[in-house]
Structures are given as C-alpha cells and as structure tokens.
A and B are shown apart, each in its own frame.
Chain A
Amino acid sequence: MRTTRRSTLAALGGTIALSTTAGCLGGSGGGSFPSDCDGTEVETVNSLPRPALGPEDASVTVDVFEDFACGHCATFTNDVYPQIESTYIEPGEIRYRYFDYPIPVDENWSWRAASAARAVQDRTDAETFFSFAKGIYEQQSRLIEDGYQFIREVADDNGVDGCTVATAAKEEAYREVVEADKQTGDDRGVPGTPAVFVDGELLENYAWDTVSAAIDGQLADTN
C-alpha cells in the first residue's frame, strides 16, 4: 500500500526557520534538509521486491545483511563486493541478495539511508539500487556530515531525482520494508553486519577468502 505524504515546512514562522538554519537533526547530526527540496512528495511503501543480482535459478545464493552506517559494511562493499561481483555475479554463478539490517549503528542514518536506497530501487531497478548503495558506502562519513545533501547527490548521480530520494530518507518512507528485512535477519540469527550467508550458512566473517571459499565449496557441491 502506498500513502502519499508531503515533506513540508509548514508556515510555523520562526520555529521552523530556526531549526532549519541550525541544521539540528538529532543526536547523529547529518546536516539540514535542502530547502529547495521542501514540498517534495513521497509515498509510504510497505513492500518491495528483494534487491538481487544474478540468475534467479543460480545454484548458489548469497544473502548479505547490511547497515548503511556500519563501517564494516563500507569495507565489505568497497573491498570485497567488487570481487564477488566480478568473480561470481557477472558470470552468472550466484544469486546475490541484499537485506537491510539497521542495527542501528546510527539511530537516524541507518534507517534513513536504507529508505533512500529503497526509494532508488522503487524508481529504477536492482542494478541502480546496488549502484546507489555503493555510492553511499564510498563516502559513508558524509551521512553524518550532510546526509540529506549527500543522498541527494548520489541519487542524482544515479539518474534518480535527488529531492525525492532525500525526502524518502527524511520521511523514512520505506521503513516498513526495512523493518521486515531486519525481522528476517533476526529470525535467521544475524549477529551483526555485514552478515554473509552462503546457501543459508552464516559465515564467520566477511573477508574475501572466507566468502570465496564458501561459494566455491557450494559450487563444487552443486555442479
């Protein structure tokens, strides 16, 4: 179900103007919401397909649970994921599935960035979702410096209206989708992020050697 919402600064005079100028968005900071994005409408969405790459009928499935504010997830996405992509996803050997798991490392941006990424997915496709996520993880520290503007820029870079995506972050328009993923992670015993499962088996860490060995082992068993 989708519910139309409007990100707006109602005419409340000095109070709103002061908070906008101060850029205070709570304990984790993150900068002001771009004033020229005010009035952008987003819908609240409670279900989306799973972001996934690779053939649906691949013999091995890799599930990864991540938190956009987790430094280890940035390390995984920036250093390990490209190797997974080139070695297994692009050749069509695995199905790679993304799950949100906001611990939350950051009480605000773990959720907001997840909603932003799902807004990108909702307006494009899985490939663009992963491209957006990569853009966030590449400069992750900007989430707590100027999060809304950062999200807007990365969305624009991926061909999606930045104000819409920043508003989705602000409104947490995909919170129910993200919460459902987190519940899945809890049900599967996710102990932290990034949590990597190969054919349902939780790996002890996210190092390339560990991940590739697990995938190779499963590929050998299934071929």
Chain B
Amino acid sequence: MNDSGPGRRDVLIATSGMLTLAGCANSAAVESGSGYGTTYGDAYGSE
C-alpha cells in the first residue's frame, strides 16, 4: 500500500473545539485554502 500520493489525505476540521471529519481531501482544494480542511491524516480508508 502506498499512502504517499498527493490525494490520499483525510481531512479534519476544527469546529467549536471539536474535530469533525470532513472527508477525503482534494489536495488541490487543500492547497488553495478552500476551508474544507486544515489538517489531515494519511491513512488509506481511515476515518
């Protein structure tokens, strides 16, 4: 399994002090600062 691809990221959004899972991130959106996620993990299929 190769988790190093640019698109393989899970996104966490900080909402009112709680971390809410937002989804698997489109790396282009993350890099453009779309607000969909600010921090992310890298596990395949993780939640």
Contact = CB atoms under 8 A, between A and B. Distances in A.
A221 B24 CA distance: 31
Interface stretch (A47-55, A66-74, A88-96): A66-74
B34 A70 contact: no
Main secondary structure of the interface of B (DSSP, over half): loop
Contacts of A75: 21, 47
Interface string B10-24: 110100000011111
Q: Counting chain B CB atoms within 10 Å of each CB, which of A106, A191, A205 scores highest?
A: A191
A206 B13 CA distance: 12
A29 interface: yes
Nearest to B32: A191
Interface residues on A, range: 20 to 34
Contacts of A29: 1
A205 B34 CA distance: 14
Contacts of A105: 7-8, 24, 44-45
Contacts of B23: 70, 72-73, 191-195, 205-206
Interface string A97-139: 0000101111100000000000000000000000000000000
Given A72-B10, A105-B8, A107-B5, A192 B24 contact: yes
Contacts of A206: 22-23
B29 A191 contact: yes
A74 B2 contact: no
Interface string A45-88: 00000000000000000000001011111110000000000000
A85 B30 CA distance: 31
Given A72-B21, A75-B47, 16 more contacts: A28-B2, A71-B24, A71-B43, A71-B44, A71-B46, A103-B8, A140-B45, A141-B45, A144-B1, A189-B34, A191-B34, A192-B11, A192-B25, A192-B36, A193-B23, A205-B21
Interface of B: 1-2, 5, 7-8, 10-11, 13, 20-27, 29-30, 34-37, 43-47
Interface of A: 27-29, 67, 69-75, 101, 103-107, 140-141, 144, 189-195, 204-207
